[in-house]
Chain A
Amino acid sequence: LNIMSAPLRRSGLQQQVMRLYGGFLRQLRAKVLDQNCGLTVEQLPEVRRNIRMQFEKNRNIPKTDFMRIEYLIRNGEKQLKAFANPTVTGISTAGS
């Protein structure tokens, strides 16, 4: 999903992707601010880079391929929901 070419209007699907990305970053900041979560400020840039990488991996999917984009959004939302759980202190992906 090519979001960095600054479209005139973002489509609903593009907005959903950006909302998901923002959700991850917001959740990350909330966890760092909340001392009990075991995430330190030093780890912030690396985790931010990891989150960005996960989104960048799928940048080149044609924006008409709704099935795949929605599949990825659903997966991302599930991961975000798991991450938002107060007992979770970190999130990482193994493999590809």
Chain B
Amino acid sequence: SNLLNNGSKSQQISLLPSLSTRQFSEGAGAKQARMQTFSVYRWDPNGTEAPTEVDYQVDVSDCPMILDILIKIKNQQDTTLSFRRSCREGICGSCSMNIDGTNTLACLCRTKPGSGVKTRILPLPHVSIVKDLVGDLTLFYDHYKAIEPWLQRKTPKEDENVEHYMSIEDRKKLDGMYECILCACCSTSCPSFWWNADKYYGPAALMQAFRWIDDSRDEFTKERLERLNDAWKLYRCHGIMNCTNTCPKHLEPSVAIQKIKHAIDNM
């Protein structure tokens, strides 16, 4: 914009005269339409049809991320398309889904370049479906609750009026674990979790369990480790590493799970 806040116009100095003339000749913001095909999983629990994959042709020139495309389909083509989304910036973890075989956040997954290409959008694998791309994450949340993700103390604070102190080195130990947004991409990519979702806690919950085990302020470390020392909750992990591979926030749950196993060995 050429207007300053006080309403006066400033002179726009054109450093690239050829660029500005091209802009004026094509019309502001005009881009070539890029058509791509999106094959989206659809299922309506209140209908009678079986699940299908419906193809949508979308002009992706104004859609940098897959979430933009889904919103465009919902706005312009099919309002009944259901999917979770909230922050559109990769921090809330709502829009986790399977795009071209990989579990990621739709708002962080870039649209493919070019036109005429096809992208397959499915819900998270081996998850009961509520509708279209919305999966039932109840088991995932139950496992997170089961690890008791809060600070547990035996001794009171030295001074009631200040927080629990923690050294800088101890705080660094939590880096790479506290950033987890519980999007469920990792747990839903783990074949062990597919086959034992009711009993195996899954990489997300286990990484958060280790986040509390490694927290220097928490005094229930031994109890936390003992509760995890179980053939089902922890040891269904066989080092498949799909979790680290797929995490959209580039965290490493498999490293945290290894650390839990080491800690139990050394207990």
Contact = CB atoms under 8 A, between A and B. Distances in A.
B138 to A, nearest CB: 7
A67 B138 contact: no
Contact of B51 (A67, A72, A74): A67
Contact of B138 (A68, A71, A78): A78
B130 A71 contact: yes
Nearest to B130: A71
A71 B129 CA distance: 8
Contacts, number: 17
Q: How large is the interface on B (under 10, 10 to 19, 20 to 34, 35 or more residues)?
A: 10 to 19
B45 A68 contact: yes
A84 B18 CA distance: 71
B136 to A, nearest CB: 6
Interface string B36-61: 00000001010010110000000000
B152 interface: no
B128 interface: yes
Interface residues of A, number: 8
A56 interface: no
A70 interface: yes
A74 to B, nearest CB: 6
User: At the interface, is chain A mostly helix, strand, loop or mixed?
Assistant: helix
Contacts of A71: 45, 128-130
A67 B51 CA distance: 9
A34 B48 CA distance: 41
A70 B128 contact: yes
A72 B45 CA distance: 9
Contact of B43 (A67, A70, A78): A67
Contacts of A68: 45
Interface string B117-159: 0000000000011100000101000000000000000000000
A67 B46 CA distance: 11
Contacts of A74: 128, 136, 138
A68 B45 CA distance: 6
A2 B182 CA distance: 40
A1 B50 CA distance: 17
B26 to A, nearest CB: 49
Interface in A52-96: 65, 67-68, 70-72, 74, 78
Contacts of B51: 67
A29 B136 CA distance: 30
Given A67-B45, A71-B128, A78-B138, 9 more contacts: A67-B43, A67-B51, A67-B129, A70-B128, A71-B45, A71-B129, A71-B130, A72-B45, A74-B136
Interface of A: 65, 67-68, 70-72, 74, 78
